[in-house]
Amino acid sequence: METIVIKKIGLSELEKLQKIGKQTFSETFAAINSEENMKQYLTEKFSLEKLTDELTNSNSEFYFALLEEKIVGYLKVNFAAAQTELKDKNALEIERIYVLKEHKGNKIGQLLYEKALQVAQKSSLKYIWLGVWEENHGALHFYKKNGFIAFDKHIFRLGDDEQTDLLMKLMLK
């Protein structure tokens, strides 16, 4: 397999981030959610304005997974107040790990996860946490395989659909 490069990105990659974000979210969830809910979510969560706010937030970082300079996946991590829930200064939230459908199974998600782990360790954080839809069995298996344990649940809204996410954590110290 060719070498995958994990690269931190900034505002200059805004439109590329929007494209990979919409594409990977659609590939992952469109078949099991209504078209209307998907459209609403993609419009709200991947608007250029929202992504600009996220990219310029000093407590969030985005990384692309590149295969021969082609974007095949991405990672978003949050520190402190940028976290969607816990807001714990001793934790790192993995908000998103997504890989293009055609590249799933090639260990790209694992490389992105390992980047998040490096970021957390470099910052001497105590744990990593995330939320994952209880029906996303592939992702649940992935995180369990990497040592994450469920500790709570929360509601994730996709349009007018309330879905249950499992909150999972991995202790580092």
Which residues form the catalytic set?
143
Q: How far is CA 172 from CA 42, 52, 92, in A?
A: 33, 31, 11
Please, what sign has the CA dihedral across residues 159, 160, 163, 167? Answer: positive
The Cα 17–Cα 145 span in angstroms is: 28
The helix or strand, by DSSP H or E, that contains position 72, with its residue range, turns out to be strand 70-79
Q: Are 138 and 146 in contact (CB under 8 A)?
A: no
